Structure 1
Amino acid sequence: MRWTSALAIYVLFWAFSVFLVLPFGVRTSDEVGAARVPGQAESAPHEFRAGRIALRVTIVATILFVLFQLNYRYGWITPGDVDFFDRMNMETR
């Protein structure tokens, strides 16, 4: 695999990991005991720490990308393994 393809796949894993990481560790103003700003949603986080979230996302994305690369190299899961409707054999008929 070319390094540009690997980089593009890593960026996709990073963007996907944002949605995995964001819901965890969020504390609202009510949970912290702080006053809400007028117009603030009840579910809005009390404190948004972009650096901490970026670090968590990077760790998760790197782990997932390494697993992807190892599967690409060693072929643990192939397209035939996830072909639940036997479509690969239908094309050869």
Structure 2
Amino acid sequence: MNLVGGVVIFIISWWMCLFAVLPIGVRGQFEDGEVVEGTEEGAPTHHMMPKKLVWATIGAAICTVVAGLIITPLLQAYGG
């Protein structure tokens, strides 16, 4: 797998991991009983986005390594 392929796999994996971790730990305003005037009740009270970005990056790195371990021998075996 070349550099461009690795970057493409990382970016796609990062977005998939981000969408997977976004709903984790989110509590709506209605669950806490403190709805801010002018906002939706289901809006999150604490989004924890920096933590989720780190987890998405770690997950994408793991997915990229696994994909590289699978793709590289296949490319060598079939002359890619």
TM-score, normalising length: structure 2: 0.75
* Highest RCO, 1 vs 2 (Cα 8 Å, sep ≥ 6): 2
The list of structure 1 runs, each at least 4 consecutive aligned residues, that deviate by more than 4 angstroms after superposition, is none
How far apart are the structure 1 equivalents of 2:4 and 2:64?
A: 14
* Alpha-carbon offset, residue 32 of structure 1: 3.1
Letter in 1 for 2:15: A
Size of the aligned set, in residue pairs, is 74
Match of residue 15 from structure 2:
15
TM-score, normalising length: structure 1: 0.66
Cα RMSD of the aligned pairs, angstroms, is 1.7
* Alpha-carbon offset, residue 50 of structure 1: 2.1
Give 1:20-39 correspondences, 5 Å limit.
Answer: 20-33=20-33, 35-39=34-38
The higher radius of gyration belongs to: 1
* Alpha-carbon offset, residue 23 of structure 1: 1.1
Match of residue 5 from structure 1:
5
For structure 2, list consecutive stretches of 5 or more residues without a partner in the other structure: 75-80
For structure 1, list consecutive stretches of 5 or more residues without a partner in the other structure: 76-93
How far apart are the structure 1 equivalents of 2:73 and 2:32?
A: 47
How far apart are the structure 2 equivalents of 1:4 and 1:59?
A: 19
How far apart are the structure 1 equivalents of 2:10 and 2:69?
A: 13
